[in-house]
Amino acid sequence: MKKTIIIASLLVLACIGFAGAANADTLTVGDLTFTATVTGTTATLTIQCTDSACANWFLGDLTLKGFTFTGSPTLGSAPSGYTLANGGQDNNAVGTGGGCNGTQGNMAVCWDAPTTLTTQLGNGVITFTANITGGSAGTLHVQATGYNNNGGLQTKGGKTFAISEDLTGGNVKTPEPASMLLLGLGLIGVPFLRRKK
């Protein structure tokens, strides 16, 4: 029995050791909550409005930075009309050409909003992902803009928010799916180990 426990413990440690880890952080600004995760292959950013007051706000460009990667990122998932740009953004409104400007290449990804905005907050969690290679995260940072009109115009107070903040929820190590698979396979094999007499 003691040998079985030791072997099972070694399997668990091996699974943890060989598994990658993701940096996950959160940020709440007023009624908006951002959560970001970066692994070696994926950058994910979610945004959620926690108050009905922003239900009619249109989401503009969205950027995640504070990590590095190699090659060209590709769009994973995003609301309809969004494209992905390698690099960061400035504070330009969507109505004046948008904010994704290609600065900080391979250190940020920018989800570029369509010319006519269609994604409104207040409809649950909105998820953006980018496929990357060799992702390595430090302190994650989010930039986001929102408007009270679908043209993304700033006139007459049209910009409802412009956020550029570090995600300060603390770096939390979360196992990737591969680690969970290895752990499960290791534990399945434990009952079949026999003691030699």
Q: What is the DSSP string of 12-56?
A: HHHHHHHS-EEEEEEEEETTEEEEEEE-SSEEEEEEEE-SGGGTT
Between 175 and 117, name the one with better pLDDT.
117
* Per-residue pLDDT at 18: 39
- The CA-atom distances, in angstroms, between 82 and each of 62, 77, 139, 150 are 10, 9, 25, 14
Between 17 and 67, name the one with better pLDDT.
67
Helix, strand or coil, per DSSP, at residue 91: coil
* CB-based contact 25:36 (threshold 8 Å): yes
- 93-116 pLDDT, tens digit per residue, is 776 667 888 889 999 999 999 989
* Per-residue pLDDT at 169: 63
Tally of helices (H runs) and strands (E runs) in the chain: 2, 9
Element (H, E) at 64: strand 58-77
Whole-number average pLDDT of the chain: 78
Give me the domain span that covers residue 183. 1-20+176-197
CA 5/CA 195 separation, integer angstroms: 11
Q: Based on the domain organization, do 61 and 139 belong to the same domain?
A: yes
In this structure, the dihedral spanned by the alpha carbons of residues 82, 85, 88 and 91, taken in order and rounded to 10 degrees, is -40
Please check the confidence at residue 168 and state whether its pLDDT lies above 50: yes
* Per-residue pLDDT at 96: 66
Q: Based on the domain organization, do 160 and 113 belong to the same domain?
A: yes
Q: Based on the domain organization, do 104 and 58 belong to the same domain?
A: yes
Q: Based on the domain organization, do 145 and 114 belong to the same domain?
A: yes
Read off φ and ψ for residue 62, nearest 5 degrees: -140, 130
* Per-residue pLDDT at 157: 67
Q: Based on the domain organization, do 9 and 81 belong to the same domain?
A: no
Burial pattern 51-61, b for ≥16 Cβ within 10 A else e, equals eeebeebbbbb
Average pLDDT score over residue span 79-96: 85
Q: Based on the domain organization, do 165 and 143 belong to the same domain?
A: yes
* CB-based contact 135:76 (threshold 8 Å): no
Q: Based on the domain organization, do 52 and 139 belong to the same domain?
A: yes
Tell me the pLDDT band of 19, cut-offs 50, 70 and 90. very low
Supply the DSSP symbol for 162.
Answer: E
Q: Based on the domain organization, do 197 and 134 belong to the same domain?
A: no
In total, how many domains does the chain have?
2
Q: Based on the domain organization, do 50 and 129 belong to the same domain?
A: yes
Q: Among residues of the chain, what percentage have pLDDT more than 90?
A: 47
Q: Based on the domain organization, do 51 and 81 belong to the same domain?
A: yes
Q: Based on the domain organization, do 108 and 190 belong to the same domain?
A: no
* Per-residue pLDDT at 158: 82
Question: Residue type at 14?
Answer: A
Helix, strand or coil, per DSSP, at residue 6: helix
Q: Based on the domain organization, do 125 and 91 belong to the same domain?
A: yes
Average pLDDT score over residue span 114-131: 92
* CATH code at position 153: 2.60.40
